[in-house]
Structure 1
């Protein structure tokens, strides 16, 4: 399965292996990790939750969108849910294409679309409290220069 929500730590190599092809001249990976400082606040840990069946469908949709824009691309995405400590891996995206520029662009497209449409939320736990994070809009400039809004949850 190329699109997964996992309660277990993500095996990065296993995600990469899903996109290895003889025709691929490039494989890009995005590995999203839990950071300690966010806007000056010290994070202790995160809790990710997802509407899992819908999240998988939306990850599959992202894969189809990438296939329409980059027909030779192969994509695998795994997002973790549950309790994650600092430096834990939250998401892994692997994209293979015949040429490197397409692999980079398709991978960037995948993470931005995850933030826009996939029903995954996180609760940040800080030294002085906690808060659910999501539905925060930020303008993102894509290589085309066209700004788009995204739903942040990284």
Structure 2
């Protein structure tokens, strides 16, 4: 007996609401001076229409440019949250984002601390990976957040968007 039931997928029906950008996909944007929560960011991007969710976590490493890092601090310009929103809006304009979240930490951090968490959910995994990559890359290049590193040899440097 032949199966006469037609099988369709949401991807076969681009008019399905779940394939489009959500009405308000930017769920969480923040710059904070307290430890960041992976659970909070992950929960913020939960969406029943999303088949793929990508989460990126940036942590403080113990070296940079061949030198041992002893201390690290982040600071930001007063416009940083507005710039973060602009970056998020650009990601949403370029990808079918169902939900997006991004938080960055400022203040003094230790090796192993979480410095940034971004997450994006989209109808499909490829879109989620692409959107999340754009979000973290543009955040790092365009949002005025600066990193001050102190190395074990006593030298220091500032790194960040200008």
Structure 1 length as normaliser, TM-score?
0.83
1:104-151 CA distances to partner (integer Å, 9 max, x unpaired)?
Answer: 00000011101221010010011122121235xxxxxxxxxxxxxxx7
Displacement of 1:66 in angstroms is: 1.3
Higher-strand-fraction structure: 1
SS across alignment from 1:62: helix
1:100 aligns to 2:125 (yes or no): yes
Unmatched runs of 5 consecutive residues or more in structure 1 = 136-150
Displacement of 1:72 in angstroms is: 3.3
Displacement of 1:16 in angstroms is: 1.0
Q: Which residue of 1 aligns with 2:36?
A: 10
Of 145, 151, 156, the residue aligned with 1:120 is 145
Contact 1:34 1:86 in 2 (8 A): yes
Q: Which residue of 2 aligns with 1:37?
A: 63
**Distance of 1:37 and 1:64 partners within structure 2:** 33
SS across alignment from 1:49: strand
Q: Which has the larger radius of gyration?
A: 2
User: Aligned pairs, how many?
Assistant: 135
**Distance of 2:86 and 2:98 partners within structure 1:** 14
Q: Provide the alpha-carbon RMSD of the alignment.
A: 1.4
Unmatched runs of 5 consecutive residues or more in structure 2 = 1-26
Displacement of 1:73 in angstroms is: 3.5
1:82 aligns to 2:107 (yes or no): yes
Structure 2 length as normaliser, TM-score?
0.79
